[in-house]
Amino acid sequence: MADQVGSLRRAYRVADRLLGGEQLPGRTQRFAARHPLVIGLLAGFSAVLFGLLIAEDDGGAATVVGVLLFGVTAGGVFTATSYAERRRQARLKKTR
């Protein structure tokens, strides 16, 4: 199992290097890595507002629950991406 995780990690780093992962991070990438929870909260809140904006007026509680789940999911994805960017920048700093 540990060998499979190691090979997946190596494959990810090769793909990251091919896509420009060795370049210095930009301003927005540095902000996202420093404040991953803020990025997630902003993304989730804006997704909830957008969902409520386009939701039908007579949708009821099921619509609100669906919109909230969509917002939580969007916020979680953005938070996870920001944490991955933080790890990438830490690895980049370690190798330089």
Per-residue pLDDT of the chain (96 residues; tens, 9 = 90+): 778 888 988 898 888 888 887 888 899 999 999 999 999 999 999 999 999 888 877 768 888 899 999 999 999 999 999 999 999 899 888 776
Tokens of 61: 């509680």
Residue labelled with tokens 């499979």: 4
Q: Hey, what's the torsion of the CAs at 72, 78, 79, 85, to 10 degrees?
A: 170
Q: What is the pLDDT of residue 32?
A: 95
pTM of the model: 0.80
Q: Tell me the domain boundaries of the chain.
A: 26-95
Q: What is the rounded CA–CA span in Å between residue 44 and residue 69? A: 9
Cα–Cα distances (Å) from 20 to 15, 16, 69, 89, 92, in that order, read 9, 6, 33, 13, 12
